[in-house]
Amino acid sequence: MRGGIVMNQILLAFSTIIIGVFGCVAYFYFSNLLLDRAYPAKGPNAGRNINRANAIRPWLFLGPAIAILSLYLVYPVVNSVWLSFHDASAEKFVGFDNYIWMIKDAKFQESMLNNLMWLIVVPGASTFFGLIAAQLTDNIRWGNLAKSLIFMPMAISFIGASVIWKFIYDYRGEASAEIGLLNALVEMFGGTPEAWITLDFWNNFFLMIVLIWIQTGFAMVILSAALRGIPEETIEAAILDGASPLEIFLKIKVPQIWGTIAVVWTTITITVLKVFDIVLAMTNGQWGSQVLANLMFDWMFRGADSGRASTIALVIMLLVTPIMVWNIRNARKEMR
């Protein structure tokens, strides 16, 4: 019986892949064929036909993508704005009630404050460690192996990482031996073991460590490529002038990769604004560790209030917007 269900599921998945892939290919193939038939590139009107076909064809290529993007990313933004002005079940218009509630809500204030702390600590720390790891591993023979190992947490899910770190922070109480690494170390150095993730305020930092652990590898990989791209001559000149390795790193290398550092910083900033799984798994926002994304999730599921949840989602969107604008401007500059 169970085997049957599983088989069905696998069949369903494979048929979807086949239907999806064939559907895509068929759409592109036949729509192009149709266009070529409608405006054949021969006969008396060949020139005009080619022009017309060329004007239409890009939209055939873009059609599915634009449709999906509009439905899955653009429409929700508009709809969320609408929802934020309506009540819990999206039936009655309530004006700015949700916004007023939000500003006064203690949990929201706590989330904003915590998100702010995350924003200050995590991108900075990840970029800092990433830069150090990149510089150090570029100079040794087993650097690539070391890089792989530091990069590895990137492949682990946030929830898997939360299990890994929850085990490190584990607290057993006074009667039994500590099996969490952190408490064992604390005990070894004569301290008192604590239930770290329930410590008001400080627990935020224990959660941040998880994300820093994951994101450092990302920062390292990108910064390492940037460091390698620095022209040799600038470094050689500095060596001839008698600069120490530290001076070369701080005064010659780092200033040349500011652009990349900024990109790494902003990319991690966006990840931080959306951080959700770690908080959900470690504390679920208890003990003063709530963040916006988890608060939104809470109001969506437990609160079943689409108005309030959408309002919180819009705040996250608003916080991301400056980076979005900055990215678009950079992309446009590059294309010119």
Partner 1 sequence: MADIAGQKARLTWAINISVVALVLLWTIPTFGLLVSSFRDADQIANSGWWQALFAAEKNVIFRSAPGDAQIQDASGYKITGNLFDGSDGSVLAFGVSSKAPTEYLPGETGEMTRNRQMTVESNGDYVISSPEPIKSRRGIRIFATIQEPPKFTLDNYEKVLFSEGVGRSFLNTFTVTIPATIIPILVAAFAAYALAWMNFPGRALLIAAVVGLLVVPLQMALIPLLKLHNEIGIGKDYLGIWLAHTGFGLPLAIYLLRNYIAGLPREIIESARVDGATDFDIFRRIILPLSFPALASFAIFQFLWVWNDLLVATVFLGNNEEQLVMTGRLRELLGSRGGDWEILAASAFVSIVVPLFVFFSMQRYLVRGLLAGSVKGG
Residues of this chain, 237-276, that bind partner 1 according to CB under 8 A: 245, 260, 263-264, 267, 270, 273-274, 276
Q: Least separation, in Å, of the C-beta of 125 and partner 1?
A: 13
Q: Least separation, in Å, of the C-beta of 260 and partner 1?
A: 6
Distance CA 215, CA 268 (A): 7
206 binding partner 1? (CB under 8 A): no
127 binding partner 1? (CB under 8 A): no
**Piece of the chain touching partner 1 by CB under 8 A; list 58-66, 93-101, 103-111, 112-120:** 58-66
Distance CA 238, CA 243 (A): 6
In the structure encoding, which two tokens stand for residue 321, read together?
């917007």
Distance CA 180, CA 188 (A): 12
**Residue 170, phi-psi category: left (phi > 0), alpha (psi -120 to 50), beta (remainder):** beta
The alpha carbon of residue 255 and the mean position of all alpha carbons in its chain are separated, in whole angstroms, by 26
Among 111, 114, 216, 283, binds partner 1 (CB under 8 A): 216
94 binding partner 1? (CB under 8 A): no
**Alpha-carbon torsion 172, 176, 182, 187, what sign?**
positive
218 binding partner 1? (CB under 8 A): yes
Q: How many residues bind partner 1 (CB under 8 A)?
A: 120
Among 102, 221, 227, 272, binds partner 1 (CB under 8 A): 221
16 binding partner 1? (CB under 8 A): yes
**Piece of the chain touching partner 1 by CB under 8 A; list 95-103, 113-121, 193-201, 322-330:** 322-330
**Piece of the chain touching partner 1 by CB under 8 A; list 20-28, 111-119, 120-128, 233-241:** 20-28
Among 34, 38, 116, 152, binds partner 1 (CB under 8 A): 152
Q: Least separation, in Å, of the C-beta of 250 and partner 1?
A: 15
Phi, psi of 86 (to 5 degrees): -120, 170
- Residue 214 near residue 278 (C-beta atoms within 8 A): no
Of 129 and 196, CB closest to partner 1: 129
Classify residue 278 by its DSSP letter.
H
146 binding partner 1? (CB under 8 A): yes
Among the residues of the chain, which ranges form H helices?
Answer: 2-38, 46-69, 75-84, 97-104, 106-137, 143-151, 158-168, 181-188, 202-228, 232-240, 245-247, 254-256, 258-273, 277-282, 292-301, 306-335
Of 251 and 329, CB closest to partner 1: 329
Distance CA 312, CA 103 (A): 10
